[in-house]
Amino acid sequence: MELRAKLLNREMTRLLQELEQSSLERSVRAWGALLWAALQQGQFWALAGVLGLLLWLWFIRSRRSRQPDNNGEEEDREEGNNVVIVQQEDNEDRNEVRNVGENEEEAGNDAAVVENGSDDGNAVEEEDNAENGTLDIGKILEGHIQWPTQDLERGCEMTSDIMDIFISVFGHLLSDSSYPVPQGAIGVGSAFEGWSPREEDVVYCFLVPLTPPAGHTFHLEMDTSGHIPGRNFFLRVEPVCTCTREQHDENMVCFVHHPEEEQRRNEEPNFRNTLCTGSYLDVEKIARWFYQLVRAAWVILPHSQNWQLVLLPSSRCCKFKVTRGTQSFTVELLFGVQQGDSDIYVSSQPTEALFTPSTMWPETYAVAEMKFFSHVAKQAPHDSWHLKCLQLLVRAVVGIDFSTYMMKTIVMHLLNTIPVSRWGSRYILLQLEDSIEYLRCSLLEKRLDHFIVGNQRVPEEILLPPDVKTAEPPNLFHRLAQDPAAHTQAMMEYQELRDRIERIVLYGH
């Protein structure tokens, strides 16, 4: 409510200043014309009268400028401006704000009309206000806040086209080999969810599922040491019986019933001795292997005629940039193995730990989260501000010890609780306040639950393994619960975050 009041007062002050400036300019022009006419005609007394009126005008303006701010409402009435009254209504529906023009209450007009202060004196009426009785704050903020200029949709289409061709080429080359076969790349992360935490350098992230080569399977083994937070796994590579397939494929040998063949194959360069450490799939070896595939396949892609490929260093993923003139797209490829038929994978993404073993594969929920944002987009109104709300929060935490993922988690919890119809642009300040309040309560409890793990209210279209549904949700604030000094610092940074969001809303940056 305080943010609303400040925003409306600021807008009204600006309009009054424009109106006063316009009136003053017209007055100066008029008196200047009279003064010139008097000088031309040599009328001394007329000249003295004009000068006297100018002194009187200066005196009146000086006295008004010294009046206290609490006379603002009287000035608004003198200038014919409507005062927007903000009141709370419908506590169960999260205090819907209705703004009614004070000068039109007797006429029963619910639309808030704001005089624009231009020379022609025309008023601009918010059409949506007449229908909903609320001031559309989002329309004011749309042009008020400095938003990043990003064409995420075009970037997603461009990078997806490149990945489709890459995967097609990889599949053709590796279909009959003893190496894993990459499956269709899945766009994940902020860009494919419709927002981006970066102002300029957007990273288009893809998860590339890997399937084991013929005669082998991946067996997940959970890390129970507890040294690294979260759910982490090791991928054991095991041979499987392929005797039934041998009857249809002369080149297929069952490694279970022909161990000597397995031994012979291990002595040659192959999947087990080039991409594994011991019996476990190695993330860093997979990344180096994929860099080689991308470099070799790029020359046959049609994009190579006009775009330049630049490989970027990374130990647990394959990262590259394609450039053409001033245009560039950065692509990050994560490798994953699907858990059953679910939307949960183990992937090559790094963990929170300073050192992550190369054979450790953390559980990733990127596909499930991407599908959740897609689910929300299908139900949200056309003017929904849930992504811009998230963009503002992420922008405000730059330099503060609250991560982008924490802000995203808070917004996902609220999207799963508040009806999507309440995320329209007119409710943006309410949703910003809800997000900050959710953060405050989580800080007081020193607990912020993961959105996917252990959440029984995830939409049904998102497929979760039973153990993920019933698991204890990881606490994203676990460090605060263990370190009192960190918790004290977090509470101070929370107040800084509130101040930053207020400044963004009021001043646009």
Indicate if 293 and 181 belong to the same structural domain: yes
Indicate if 301 and 442 belong to the same structural domain: no
pLDDT at 85: 35
User: What one-letter code names the amino acid at 10?
Assistant: R
Indicate if 56 and 183 belong to the same structural domain: no
Indicate if 286 and 214 belong to the same structural domain: yes
Residue 342 lies in a domain: no
Indicate if 27 and 106 belong to the same structural domain: yes
Domain tally, the chain: 3
Per-residue CA distances from 318 to 101, 204, 325, 344 (Å) = 58, 12, 23, 21
pLDDT at 102: 38
pLDDT band at 352 (very low <50, low <70, confident <90, very high): confident
Indicate if 177 and 312 belong to the same structural domain: yes
Residue 345 lies in a domain: no
Residue 73 lies in a domain: yes
Please choose, from the candidates 204, 205, 203, 196, the residue with its C-alpha nearest in 3D space to the C-alpha of residue 147.
Answer: 196
Residue 147 lies in a domain: no
Indicate if 314 and 382 belong to the same structural domain: no
CATH number at residue 278: 3.30.460.90
pLDDT at 460: 92
For residues 229 and 457, the model is more confident at 457
Alpha-carbon gap, residue 112 to 101, rounded angstroms: 5
Residue 343 lies in a domain: no
**Domain that residue 426 falls in:** 369-507
Residue 470 lies in a domain: yes
Please choose, from the candidates 94, 213, 205, the residue with its C-alpha nearest in 3D space to the C-alpha of residue 159.
Answer: 205
pLDDT band at 509 (very low <50, low <70, confident <90, very high): confident
For the chain, give the mean pLDDT. Answer: 78
pTM for the whole thing? 0.72
For residues 125 and 279, the model is more confident at 279
**Mean pLDDT, residues 309-319 taken together:** 95
Indicate if 126 and 51 belong to the same structural domain: yes
Please choose, from the candidates 167, 157, 173, the residue with its C-alpha nearest in 3D space to the C-alpha of residue 208.
Answer: 167
Alpha-carbon gap, residue 414 to 105, rounded angstroms: 35
pLDDT digits (tens, 9 = 90+) for 121-165: 434 334 444 344 456 666 666 666 666 666 889 999 999 999 999
Indicate if 162 and 264 belong to the same structural domain: yes
Indicate if 326 and 470 belong to the same structural domain: no
In 339-385, where does DSSP find H-type helix?
A: 366-379
pLDDT digits (tens, 9 = 90+) for 37-58: 555 554 545 555 555 555 555 5
Residue 162 lies in a domain: yes
Indicate if 172 and 51 belong to the same structural domain: no
**Mean pLDDT, residues 205-209 taken together:** 97
In 42-183, where does DSSP find H-type helix?
A: 44-65, 72-79, 127-132, 137-144, 152-174
Q: For the chain, what is the radius of gyration of the CA atoms?
A: 32
Indicate if 158 and 269 belong to the same structural domain: yes
| Range from 181-185, 250-254, 315-319 carrying the lowest mean pLDDT | 250-254
Residue 364 lies in a domain: no
